[in-house]
């Protein structure tokens, strides 16, 4: 009977609240356990119940005379009470308890999208509604309500739970430390973290070329996923004007100190066949020796793979010039084997030099008269 009354279509015929229904269930349980039927006041002035009461009173008194019957009644009462509890739980799950026990009261859902969560909760509370907050990352300020599960203006039962989607700000990651790293390492580190970046280059008298000398944001800072990092890369010392050194004939080991001293950037070390320079010697350079250049210039150097220079013969025929008297005459050559004197004699003005020598690969020959170069020739 208690369950049937709670489910009546007319709200006025139902229980006024959960307390009244609980009292009715308790009274029914106690009357069954005592072998009697509760008085009418426990159930209100209800004609249907009075008829049921008139029928059940004699039977209840007869059962009270039997201890075995009372035990049976206790079991039935427990079953009845359990069924009542399950029924109430079911009503709560489907959201109908408020309508059944609360007289079917409804309220209008307020609009709270764009409000701070604290403001939204206050508005919902004023309408008798509950709030369940769900947090997500977004580009909106932390605590701003982004969505509500039931649209503003809709009618719902008092006590209904409204789910609010609330911003917890943009997702962040820690900025990695790339200060002092090489450009290549810094770019790889940021790319692996899906961090976009801009690069600026500038000269630095202390930091070597391609070293990161500044980063923003600083290492460890929490940054949004769309943050664009700023890096400054060193170009090394500001270049100065020089004359390009001659690397031809040098090994890589001997060339490296000259490269470092002038801050040259070697774009490529190439290898190629050379008949002028022995294997392991530099046989070509992209910027010709003796030409104007700047420190920090980019070079491509080619190293000989052999077979190396071929020995060739050369004949010098020259008349000694001058104002008379004796002269110091030197013939000096530079070839794949290095620089050396191949002739050194005291001669008079008008004497004729007729001299043969061998050289390797390519080179130059110079005739010095009293220490002054008076003739120079290429050796092919």
Mean pLDDT computed over 244-270: 91
**Residue 218 vs residue 2, higher pLDDT:** 218
pLDDT at 94: 47
The CATH number of the structural domain formed by 241-300 is: 3.30.10.20
How sure is the predictor about 237, in pLDDT bands with cuts at 50, 70 and 90? confident
pLDDT at 97: 43
Neighbours of 164 (CB within 10 A): 21
Rounded to an integer, what distance in angstroms lies between the CA atom of residue 380 and that of residue 364? 8
Res 206 pLDDT > 60: yes
Neighbours of 162 (CB within 10 A): 21
Mean pLDDT computed over 304-325: 89
Rounded to an integer, what distance in angstroms lies between the CA atom of residue 280 and that of residue 273? 11
Domain boundaries, the chain: 2-101, 106-167, 173-233, 241-300, 311-379
Neighbours of 54 (CB within 10 A): 10
Res 258 pLDDT > 90: yes
Cα-Cα end-to-end distance for the chain: 124
How sure is the predictor about 33, in pLDDT bands with cuts at 50, 70 and 90? low
Res 338 pLDDT > 60: yes
Mean pLDDT computed over 370-380: 92
pLDDT at 360: 86
Equal CATH topology for 173-233 and 311-379? no
pLDDT at 84: 60
Mean pLDDT computed over 355-379: 93
pLDDT at 185: 96
Res 282 pLDDT > 90: yes
Res 12 pLDDT > 80: no
User: 173-233: what fold?
Assistant: Trypsin Inhibitor V; Chain A (3.30.10)
192 φ/ψ angles, rounded to the nearest 5 degrees: -65, -25
| Local structure of 323: helix, strand or coil | coil
Q: What is the mean pLDDT of the chain?
A: 83
| Local structure of 46: helix, strand or coil | coil
pLDDT at 34: 60
pLDDT at 275: 86
pLDDT at 70: 56
User: 106-167: what fold?
Assistant: Trypsin Inhibitor V; Chain A (3.30.10)
Cα→Cα distances 146→160, 162, 176, 291, Å: 20, 13, 31, 69
How sure is the predictor about 101, in pLDDT bands with cuts at 50, 70 and 90? very low
Using the structure block, give the residue that is written with the tokens 């072998």.
Answer: 35
Res 37 pLDDT > 50: no
pLDDT at 357: 96
Rounded to an integer, what distance in angstroms lies between the CA atom of residue 253 and that of residue 67? 114
pLDDT at 126: 94
Mean pLDDT computed over 45-67: 48
> Would the pTM of this model clear 0.85, i.e. be above it?
no
pLDDT at 38: 46
Give percent above pLDDT 70 in the chain: 76
Res 45 pLDDT > 50: no
User: Beta partners for 228?
Assistant: 196
Q: Which of 95-104, 231-240, 249-258 has the lowest mean pLDDT?
A: 95-104
Q: What is the DSSP string of 131-192?
A: EEEEEE--SSPTTBEEEESS-TT-EEETT-EEEEEEE----EEEPP--TTSBHHHHHHHHHH
Mean pLDDT computed over 203-229: 92
pLDDT in tens, 122-166: 999 999 999 999 999 888 888 999 999 999 999 999 999 999 999
> Yes or no: is domain 311-379 CATH 2.60.40.2560?
yes
Mean pLDDT computed over 36-44: 45
């Amino acid at each position: 009977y208690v369950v049937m009354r709670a489910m009546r279509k007319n709200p006025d015929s139902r229980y006024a609240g959960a307390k009244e229904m609980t009292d009715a269930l308790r009274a029914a349980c106690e009357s069954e356990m005592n072998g009697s039927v509760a008085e009418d006041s426990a159930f209100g002035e209800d004609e249907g119940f009075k008829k049921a009461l008139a029928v059940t009173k004699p039977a209840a008194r007869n059962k009270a005379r039997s201890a075995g019957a009372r035990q049976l009644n206790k079991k039935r009462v427990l079953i009845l009470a359990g069924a009542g509890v399950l029924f109430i739980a079911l009503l709560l799950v489907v959201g109908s308890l408020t309508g059944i026990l609360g007289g079917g009261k409804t309220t209008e859902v307020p609009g709270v999208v764009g409000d701070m969560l604290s403001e939204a909760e206050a508005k919902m509370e004023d309408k008798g509604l509950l709030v369940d907050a769900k947090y997500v990352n977004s580009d909106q300020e932390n605590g701003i309500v982004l969505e509500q599960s039931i649209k503003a203006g809709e009618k719902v039962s008092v006590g209904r739970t409204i789910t609010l989607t609330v911003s917890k700000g943009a997702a962040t990651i820690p900025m990695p430390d790339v200060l002092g790293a090489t450009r290549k390492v810094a770019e790889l580190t940021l790319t692996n973290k899906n961090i976009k970046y801009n690069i600026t280059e500038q000269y630095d008298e202390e930091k070597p070329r391609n070293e990161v000398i500044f980063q923003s944001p600083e290492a460890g800072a929490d940054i949004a996923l769309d943050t664009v990092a700023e890096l400054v890369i060193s170009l090394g010392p500001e270049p100065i004007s020089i004359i390009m050194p001659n690397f031809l004939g040098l090994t890589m080991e001997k060339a490296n100190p000259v490269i470092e001293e002038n801050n040259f950037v070697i774009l490529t070390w190439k290898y190629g066949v050379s008949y002028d320079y022995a294997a392991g010697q530099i046989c070509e350079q992209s910027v010709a020796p003796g030409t104007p250049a700047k420190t920090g210039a980019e070079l491509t150097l080619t190293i000989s793979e052999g077979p190396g220079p071929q020995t060739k013969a050369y004949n010098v025929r020259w008349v000694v010039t001058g104002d008379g008297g004796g002269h110091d005459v030197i013939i000096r050559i530079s070839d794949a084997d290095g620089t050396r004197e191949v002739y050194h004699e005291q001669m008079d003005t008008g004497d004729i030099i007729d001299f043969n020598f061998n050289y390797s690969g390519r080179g130059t020959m110079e005739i010095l008269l009293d220490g002054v170069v008076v003739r120079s020739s290429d050796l092919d």
